[in-house]
């Protein structure tokens, strides 16, 4: 914009002719460009803001010098009960408790208050509402204990002595992620290979839109399906004890991840240059040999990216985890046990928590972890894989 | 498909003179059949999953869907009555969300295709940000809505205009829609960008050659030429927004509100959250089973119709590009 007029002026002085490419400077044009540019920066700003605000709410955890105002959360018993009690675990690390000078908790009155306020209002709103009406009660220094307990093996956020051990949640999340990727990745990749290499045009026009439709299934619908039908169906086959467990949740999340893996893999497979295909056929390879030994290896970085993004999708999935995994924070590695994922923990407990509470901060900390994890996964998929793919296809 | 199977089988049957060769080609052809069959069956399994899910929900909910169910309020602790407030809330949510997301998404897409150079650092960063926005878990948006819109903006607004009275500093439909619009922003950007790229270069050149400025060209030539893409983006965003529950869990949704939301500071009901609460938190799950299936079917049909029209629109755009 700024360069062109200058050039035009110099043209005129040199030749004495009027350059027809010269355009009048217009304010409307200038403004439009600036506004458009400003709006475009919004997406970057949103990312920064998300990171800043989610992380900010979790900061008080690390600030152990400052006493935090803490209230006992409301509705604690209901949370514990509805999600099936955890089988008792050996009380191995009572180390945390020694740190806490938290002997008595004078917080019972606050609980009463909130219930009163909720029933006053004419509407029965979600329990999220009630938590906002409560202000923090008595203060006692317990975030030092909270910080220490993050490394623990117990997630008892609403017990007398709250403990925020993240390991059961992390293990639960990884367990589900592994199960769902083991289920979804082979299916999606092979289906993509079929669509890209073998399928005729008509079949392609059935497969691709159907999988696009699957991408449009709301996760709450998939969760409903898993909870109502899939759970009983799988239980009939495998005869395990708990109906809702990481296996059911994993399969359901796999269903949600299939369209992502399929679409990106298919893109990667079709992006392999035609010359690869032709060269392979010219050397006497058959169609399937070309597909399996030439096209598939050439597209591996893209497939890797697809699987990574599938992992990202499963890792942060909330509604399916809430509905189909049983939601009990357990450490075991058995796939047929109930688990509780990081995202589901936020979804289930944020509504019952008090603003500014340690529990509240811990939930935001979990949110920051999820954010960082997905951000890194996306960055790897974006930069590392793309660079590799380009190199491989260009044969450098 | 069948042809290539036939070819493979023919390959086995044809007698080759060299027995070693014959065995080799036999093995190869068997492998070919296996691999093609395996990949095909994966595709079939996925399609079967989609079909089964749809059929099961359709059969479970089809008797429930009556005019009354769609237009009346829930009664008797959700065990009877309809889901009208949830439908109304969902509609209101996606409308408010589109008002925020579509203009911003479209403008970002215009910047990326019309102004920014493909290789410039700014454009690359924006593209990366958009793709990151698309993969951030939806629950993080919920946390952000709570931390930013409600706790930060809302509380500031209350302090500034209402003298500390609690009005905006709590969950409501405005914050929920804005949170949802952030989530659907990348959906809009990606589809509008795709559509903008289908507008032929010659049209732009012709407009510029006639003396139009860049902005005039964009406004009068490029945007009208890609209006179907903007529509596709809007439809996809609406379908995404209608189905997502996690971002609005703590930014404005309620299980039951006796009245329809009348102002931006009201809470509201949503189909997805209705399903979630009825299946997991309700005391009498069995009693509400038909309503659960009915609500799920309504939500599924809604997103199904929206997605279907978006897919058709998109295929038309792609065809136009090829032509």
Q: What is the ipTM of this complex?
A: 0.88
A207–B47 C-beta distance less than 8 A? yes
Residue A30 Cα, gap to closest chain B Cα (Å): 9
Q: Which residues in chain A have their CB less than 8 angstroms from residue B296's CB?
A: 221, 224
Q: Are A143 and B277 in contact (CB under 8 A)?
A: no
Q: Is A47 in the B-facing interface, judged by CB distances under 8 Å?
A: yes
Among B6, B34, B46, the residue to mutate for chain A (most A Cβ within 10 A)? B46
A225–B57 C-beta distance less than 8 A? yes
Please say if the pLDDT value at position B94 is more than 80. Answer: yes
Q: What is the pLDDT of residue A3?
A: 45
Q: Which residues in chain B have their CB less than 8 angstroms from residue A309's CB?
A: 135
Residue B302 Cα, gap to closest chain A Cα (Å): 10
Q: Is B300 in the A-facing interface, judged by CB distances under 8 Å?
A: yes
Task: Return d(Cα A70, Cα B195) in angstroms, integer.
Answer: 52
B47–A318 C-beta distance less than 8 A? no
Residue B81 CA: distances (Å) to CA of A3, B69, B87, B289, B290: 67, 6, 13, 13, 11
Residue B30 Cα, gap to closest chain A Cα (Å): 11
Q: Are A366 and A329 in contact (CB under 8 A)?
A: no
Residue A327 CA: distances (Å) to CA of A79, A244, A259: 10, 8, 26
Say how many CA atoms lie within 13 Å of B219 toward its Cβ. Answer: 10
What is the architecture of the domain spanning A26-396?
Answer: Orthogonal Bundle (1.10)
Task: Return d(Cα B153, Cα B146) in angstroms, integer.
Answer: 10
Per the prediction, chain B carries an average pLDDT of 87
Among A48, A267, A288, A363, the residue to mutate for chain B (most B Cβ within 10 A)? A288
- Three-state secondary structure string covering chain A: CCHHHHHHHHHHHHHCCCCCCCCCCCHHHHHHHHHHHHHHCHHHHHHHHHHHHHHHHHHHHHCCCCCCECCCCCCHHHHHHHCCCCCCCCCCCCHHHHHCCCCCCCCHHHHHHHHHHHHHCCCCCCHHHHHHHCCCCCECCCHHHHHHHCCCCCEECCCCCCEECCHHHHHHHHHHHHHHHHHHHHHHHHHHHHHHHHCCHHHHHHHHHHHHHHHHCCHHHHHHHHHHHHHHHHHHHHCCCCCCCHHHHHHHHHHHHHHHHHHHHHHHHHHCCHHHHHHHHHCCCCHHHHHHHHHHHHCHHHHHHHHHHHHHHHHHCCHHHHHHCECCCCCCCCCCCCECCHHHHHHHHHHHCCCCCHHHHHHHHHHHHHHHHHHHHHHHHHHHHHHHHHHHHHCC
Residue A324 CA: distances (Å) to CA of A233, A344, B158: 13, 10, 39
B135–A378 C-beta distance less than 8 A? yes
Tokens of A173: 């999340």
Task: Return d(Cα B235, Cα B50) in angstroms, integer.
Answer: 21
Q: Are A265 and A303 in contact (CB under 8 A)?
A: yes
Please say if the pLDDT value at position B95 is more than 90. Answer: yes
DSSP B15: P
Spelled out in words, what is the top-level CATH class assigned to the domain B67-322? mainly alpha
Of A133, A254, A112, A268, nearest to A195 by C-alpha is A268
Q: Which residues in chain B have their CB less than 8 angstroms from residue A125's CB?
A: 254-257, 267
B28–A289 C-beta distance less than 8 A? yes
Q: Is B257 in the A-facing interface, judged by CB distances under 8 Å?
A: yes
* Terminal alpha carbon distance of chain A: 38
Q: What is the pLDDT of residue B19?
A: 72
User: In the structure, what pLDDT confidence band is assigned to residue B21 with cuts at 50, 70 and 90?
Assistant: confident
B135–A374 C-beta distance less than 8 A? yes
For residue B267, give the nearest of A49, A125, A355 by CB distance.
A125
Q: Cβ-count burial of A381 within 10 angstroms (0-12 exposed, 13-18 middle, 19+ buried)?
A: buried
Of A361, A367, A362, A337, nearest to A171 by C-alpha is A337
* Terminal alpha carbon distance of chain B: 28
Q: Are strands A163-164 and B74-75 parallel, antiparallel or unpaired?
A: unpaired
Q: What is the pLDDT of residue A396?
A: 52
For the entire predicted model, the pTM comes to: 0.81
Instruction: Compare all CA atoms of chain B with the CA of A252 and give the residue at the minimum distance.
Output: B49
Strand, helix or coil for residue B75: strand
Task: Return d(Cα B110, Cα B100) in angstroms, integer.
Answer: 16
Mean pLDDT of B233-244: 92
A288–B215 C-beta distance less than 8 A? no
User: In the structure, what pLDDT confidence band is assigned to residue B86 with cuts at 50, 70 and 90?
Assistant: very high
A318–B137 C-beta distance less than 8 A? yes
Q: Are B272 and A141 in contact (CB under 8 A)?
A: no
Question: Using CB atoms and an 8 Å cut-off, which of residues 211-240 of chain A contact chain B?
Answer: 211-214, 216-225, 227-229
Q: Is A56 in the B-facing interface, judged by CB distances under 8 Å?
A: yes
Q: What is the pLDDT of residue A120?
A: 33
Q: Which residues in chain B have their CB less than 8 angstroms from residue A39's CB?
A: 104, 107-108, 111
B142–A46 C-beta distance less than 8 A? no
Q: Which residues in chain B have their CB less than 8 angstroms from residue A219's CB?
A: 243-246
Please list the ranges in chain A whose pLDDT falls under 50: 1-16, 65-140
For residue A123, give the nearest of B36, B112, B258 by CB distance.
B258
Tokens of A261: 């893996």
Of A321, A389, A374, nearest to A50 by C-alpha is A374
Q: What is the pLDDT of residue A356?
A: 76
């Amino acid at each position: 914009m700024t360069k062109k007029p200058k050039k035009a002026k110099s043209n005129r002085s040199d030749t004495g002719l009027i350059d027809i490419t010269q355009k009048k400077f217009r304010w409307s044009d200038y403004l439009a460009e600036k506004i458009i540019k400003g709006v475009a920066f919004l997406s970057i700003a949103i990312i920064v803001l998300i990171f800043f605000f989610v992380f900010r709410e979790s900061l008080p955890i690390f600030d152990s010098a400052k006493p935090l105002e803490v209230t006992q959360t409301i509705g604690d018993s209901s949370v514990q009960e509805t999600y099936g009690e955890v089988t008792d675990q050996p009380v191995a690390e009572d180390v945390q408790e020694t740190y806490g000078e938290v002997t008595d908790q004078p917080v019972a009155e606050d609980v009463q208050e909130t219930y009163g306020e909720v029933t006053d209002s004419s509407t029965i709103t979600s329990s999220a509402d009630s938590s906002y009406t409560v202000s923090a009660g008595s203060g006692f220094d317990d975030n030092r204990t909270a910080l220490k307990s993050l490394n623990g093996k117990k997630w008892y956020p609403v017990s007398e002595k709250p403990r925020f051990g993240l390991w059961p949640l992390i293990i639960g999340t990884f367990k589900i992620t592994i199960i769902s990727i083991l289920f979804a990745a082979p299916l999606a990749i092979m289906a993509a290979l079929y669509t890209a290499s073998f399928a005729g045009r008509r079949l392609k026009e059935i497969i691709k839109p159907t999988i696009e439709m699957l991408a449009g299934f709301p996760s709450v619908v998939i969760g409903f399906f898993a909870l109502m039908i899939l759970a009983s169906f799988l239980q009939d086959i495998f005869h395990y004890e708990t109906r809702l467990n990481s296996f059911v949740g994993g399969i359901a999340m796999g269903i949600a991840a299939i369209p992502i893996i399929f679409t990106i893999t298919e893109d990667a497979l079709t992006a392999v240059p035609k010359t690869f295909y032709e060269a392979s056929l010219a050397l006497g390879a058959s169609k399937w040999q070309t597909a399996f030994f030439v096209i598939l290896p050439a597209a591996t970085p893209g497939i890797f990216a697809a699987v990574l993004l599938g992992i990202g999708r499963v890792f942060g999935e909330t509604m399916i985890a809430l509905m189909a995994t049983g939601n009990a924070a357990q450490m075991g590695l058995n796939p047929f046990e109930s688990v509780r994922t990081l995202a589901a923990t936020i979804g289930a407990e944020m509504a019952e928590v008090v603003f500014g509470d340690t529990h509240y901060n811990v939930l935001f900390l979990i949110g920051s972890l999820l954010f960082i994890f997905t951000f890194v996964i996306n960055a790897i998929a974006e930069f590392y894989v793309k660079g590799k793919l380009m190199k491989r296809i260009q044969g450098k | 498909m069948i042809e290539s199977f036939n070819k493979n089988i023919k390959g086995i049957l044809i007698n080759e003179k060299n027995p070693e060769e014959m065995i080799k080609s036999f093995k190869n052809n068997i492998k070919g059949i296996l691999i093609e069959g395996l990949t095909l069956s994966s595709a079939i399994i996925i399609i079967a999953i989609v079909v089964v899910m749809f059929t099961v929900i359709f059969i479970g909910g089809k008797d429930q869907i009556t005019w009354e169910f769609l237009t009346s309020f829930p009664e008797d602790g959700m065990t009877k009555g309809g889901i009208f407030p949830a439908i109304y809330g969902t509609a209101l949510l996606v409308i408010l969300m589109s008002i925020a997301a579509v203009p911003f998404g479209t403008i970002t897409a215009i910047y990326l295709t019309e102004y920014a150079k493909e290789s410039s650092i700014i454009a690359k960063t924006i593209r990366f940000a958009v793709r990151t926005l698309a993969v951030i878990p939806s629950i993080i948006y919920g946390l952000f809505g709570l931390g930013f819109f409600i706790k930060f903006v809302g509380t500031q607004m209350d302090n500034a205009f209402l003298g500390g009275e609690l009005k905006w500093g709590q969950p409501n439909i405005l914050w929920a829609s804005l949170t949802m619009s952030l989530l659907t922003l990348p959906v809009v950007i990606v589809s509008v960008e795709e559509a903008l790229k289908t507008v032929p270069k010659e049209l732009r050149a012709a407009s510029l050659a006639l003396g139009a400025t860049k902005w005039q060209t964009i406004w009068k030539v490029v945007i009208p030429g890609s209006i179907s893409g903007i529509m596709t983006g809007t439809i996809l965003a609406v379908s995404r927004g209608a189905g997502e529950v996690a971002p609005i869990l703590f930014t404005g949704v309620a299980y039951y509100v006796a009245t329809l939301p009348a102002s931006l500071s009201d809470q509201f009901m949503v189909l997805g959250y209705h399903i979630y609460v009825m299946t997991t938190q309700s005391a009498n799950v069995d009693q509400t089973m038909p309503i659960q299936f009915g609500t799920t079917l309504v939500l599924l049909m809604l997103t199904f119709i929206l997605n279907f029209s978006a897919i058709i629109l998109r295929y038309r755009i792609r065809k136009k590009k090829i032509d």
